[in-house]
Amino acid sequence: MEAATKQSVTNQLLTVKSASGKTYSQLAEETGLTNVYVAQLLRRQAQLKPDTVPKLREALPALSDELIAAMMSPPWRSYDPNLIQEPTVYRLNEAVMHFGESIKEIINEDFGDGIMSAIDFYCSVDKVKGVDGYNRVVVTLDGKYLSHSEQDGEYGLKAKP
């Protein structure tokens, strides 16, 4: 999907969401998805699956058949490189960069040599009250662990069982 088409569809989807008066968290509650995944769907960063269509149609009845069809096609996952300049995105990036090395070491200690998947992945944003009474943001990154494999020189040359 070319960038202009993706942006046009995204604008239409966000207009439907805005007209509904619902938040991403409300839509998540109604669809059984995470709030971040709902946002990813409406921003064309995730593909709408057939089983989710009825729940999303019920939550956002103004979605046209054309928009649903567009959402069901594989998305062109991309981002605007200028997005890093947005303060919230900048701070999230800063937090990952600051804590990343420690997080990586803990993953390796607890799981072994591997990584956290961003494909088999759940993400949500929650609002909680801190012990000091102030609002706090909780960002949950929940990814499947993937261990690195040893690269056998015979891989791909052997007959598959």
User: Which amino acid is located at 14 in the chain?
Assistant: L
Q: List the catalytic residues.
A: 91, 94, 117
Q: Are 69 and 26 in contact, with CB atoms under 8 Å apart?
A: no
Can you tell me whether residue 27 is helix, strand or coil? Answer: helix
Q: Are 24 and 35 in contact, with CB atoms under 8 Å apart?
A: yes
Q: Per DSSP, which regions of 48-134 are E strands? A: 114-129
CA-to-CA dists, residue 84 to 72, 79, 88, 92, 135, angstroms:
28, 10, 9, 9, 24
Count of residues in the chain: 161
- Per the structure block, which two tokens stand in for 64? 């046209």
